[in-house]
Structure 1
Amino acid sequence: MKIIKNLLAIVGLVSISGLFVFAVQAPLDRDVQPEQKMINDYNIYAVKIPDDLNFAGEAMPLSDPDVYERMDRELLVNTYWQSNGLLMFKRAQKYFPVIEPILKKHGIPDDFKYLAVIESGLTNAVSPAGARGVWQIMPATARENGLEVNDNVDERYHLEKSTEIACKYLLQSKKSLGSWTLAAAAYNAGNAGISRRLKEQNVADYYDLLLGEETGRYMFRIVALKEIMNNPKTYGFNFDELDLYSNIPTFNVVVDKEIPNFTTFAQEYGINYKILKIHNPWLRETKLNNKSGKKYIIEIPEKGYYPAP
């Protein structure tokens, strides 16, 4: 009886093994064309790198094998990080119309809006080092350039004002370093940091520098996002205009006194506390401490864009 059980077990094992071998081998039929083997429409492709990539009109030297590989990496990473890519398209529709005219006013190339994309993902991000807002400005830099930064009010979260400060910094960097590419890199590593590396390595171009991981990837990430966001279909991103986020129209309310309770203040304008803070993220507390009588401009959304409270 024991022998019979052992034989049955062996036969069963052989049968299962045979099925397993068949299951593995069947798809490997050499007569079946590759496209016939696909059971869905999702495929992974190598990304073709355009030969005319540039930042602010300054060409990227793709004939350099190192530059080519680093650019390939960033195009691949950002092409196949689909969820993040779609969010960038959605947010850009909302925030680029605010950023673009400020860049233009200061004579800064439009490509710098993609610097904001990689700095913060177009969100009011907070870095471990203490940088905040869409442009990731440090507190000292903000105060040096006239922004108010404290627990009650932090104007680094004010998109228009922080964009103005970013422009001022970039213009100084361009004047000091000589190119827009180096100015952009200096936004990450500082003017002194880039100048020191250029001198140490006896080169004059960003793409000739050996840099740390973050600054070394910085320009490639910017150019990758620029390329993808200007050619969504080429990189597999599909969406309609209605899929994108929109900027809600607002009107300004000038305030020159304390506001003891933002909940009450918001309700006076037909909105709630949450909506007030969404449109004015630079207001950091539940009240405004304004003993000096300083004039602040608070944005209130036009009626009809949010449900009545």
Structure 2
Amino acid sequence: MQRFHLIVIYTLIALLIGVVLFQFKLLEEASKQPQFTVNTSDGNQIRITIPDKRVNIFSLPDKVNFASEELPLKDPEVRERFEREIYVNAYWESNAILLMKRANKFLPTIEKILKENGVPEDFKYLAMAESNLLNVVSPAGARGFWQFMDATAKEYNLEVSADVDERYHLEKSTVAACKYLKKAYASFGNWTSVAASYNMGISGLSKRKNEQRHNNYYDLWLNEETSRYIFRIVAFKELFEHPSRYGFDIPSKELYNRPTFRELTVDSSIPNLADWAIKHGSSYKDLKIHNPWLRSTKLNVSKGKTYTILLPV
């Protein structure tokens, strides 16, 4: 019994020491933070601790450009619009981190196609602004990384059917986007207007320029979405090119990667894609993840038509 009492006493002493040490730790942490004392009406005093600063004010660059076309940041209104998109995206940390990790999977392919088609590399950030590099569907029905509407997709030779929707095909949709961008450049002669037209259409932007008798995007009064559009694109560029400036430090080992693929050419219909995937040493899940343009459980192939399906090695 005496031994039991000693154990209880020692336990209570240990708990008391733990509580005292915890209180000292709290006092130590509080002493590191700015404090001030307020006198109350009844003669007492209240000590107020100012918490550590959680939000940083960024020192934004004096010069930024999109496709080698400089933003007029000396204009206070333009600078304010740019700052808005920097803060909105830099402090949406979860989205920014996942986008930076995800971009490593897809940007090499997008950059290669942009270069091959003579389109400035900065347009990869337009794809980010459109979709966050996800195969999303907009409320209006636009789909894929480049957010093509049904009619526009077909205009640029993308197949849209019950079994196949090439708006979800990374390579083919990027080529189609390049065709649109080059067509818009032929109309406007500058890449900033080209990017703005991607949001509101070539005819829409042309109409606003004619109505307002201004050719410069930054001098136009546009709808809320298009007026923010270029700044959102350039904000992504700034965050990606100078991540540490905005508090992002993602080790290369943490970035996402696409697997090595084997390409299978298909020239006849596949009645069951799950069976076909298993037959070729893969799974229906892998087939759908890496070929999101396959929209059904089967694939009808017209005479003379071929498709290339990617499966991980």
- Does the TM-score normalized on the shorter chain lie above 0.5? yes
Of residues 212, 235, 250, the one that matches 2:246 is: 235
The equivalent of 1:163 in structure 2 is 174
Give the C-alpha shift of residue 38 in structure 1: 4.0
Matched pairs, number: 273
1:98 aligns with 2:119: no
1:150 aligns with 2:161: yes
The equivalent of 1:187 in structure 2 is 198
Task: Render the CA deviation track for 1:75-95: whole Å, top value 9, x for unaligned.
Answer: 111111100100110111000
Give the C-alpha shift of residue 64 in structure 1: 1.1
The equivalent of 2:301 in structure 1 is 290
The equivalent of 2:185 in structure 1 is 174
User: Partners of 2:278 and 2:127 in 1: how far apart?
Assistant: 33
User: Partners of 1:250 and 1:223 in 2: how far apart?
Assistant: 33
Deviating above 6 A after TM superposition, structure 1's stretches of 4 or more consecutive aligned residues are: none
User: Partners of 1:66 and 1:244 in 2: how far apart?
Assistant: 36
User: Partners of 1:113 and 1:54 in 2: how far apart?
Assistant: 14
Give the C-alpha shift of residue 126 in structure 1: 0.5
Question: What TM-score do you get using the length of structure 1 for normalisation?
Answer: 0.85
Question: What TM-score do you get using the length of structure 2 for normalisation?
Answer: 0.84
3-state SS in 2 of match to 1:27? strand
User: Partners of 1:260 and 1:38 in 2: how far apart?
Assistant: 63
Percentage of matched positions with identical amino acids: 52
Give the C-alpha shift of residue 292 in structure 1: 2.8
The equivalent of 1:124 in structure 2 is 135
Residue pair 1:47, 1:72 contacting (<8 A) in 2 also: no
- The 5 A counterparts of 1:1-309 are 25-27=46-48, 37-38=50-51, 43-302=54-313
- Structure 1 gap ranges (5+): 1-16, 29-36, 303-309
User: Partners of 1:103 and 1:79 in 2: how far apart?
Assistant: 26
Give the C-alpha shift of residue 69 in structure 1: 0.7
- Structure 2 gap ranges (5+): 1-39
Residue pair 1:114, 1:222 contacting (<8 A) in 2 also: yes
Give the C-alpha shift of residue 18 in structure 1: 9.8
3-state SS in 1 of match to 2:47? helix
Aligned-CA RMSD value: 1.6
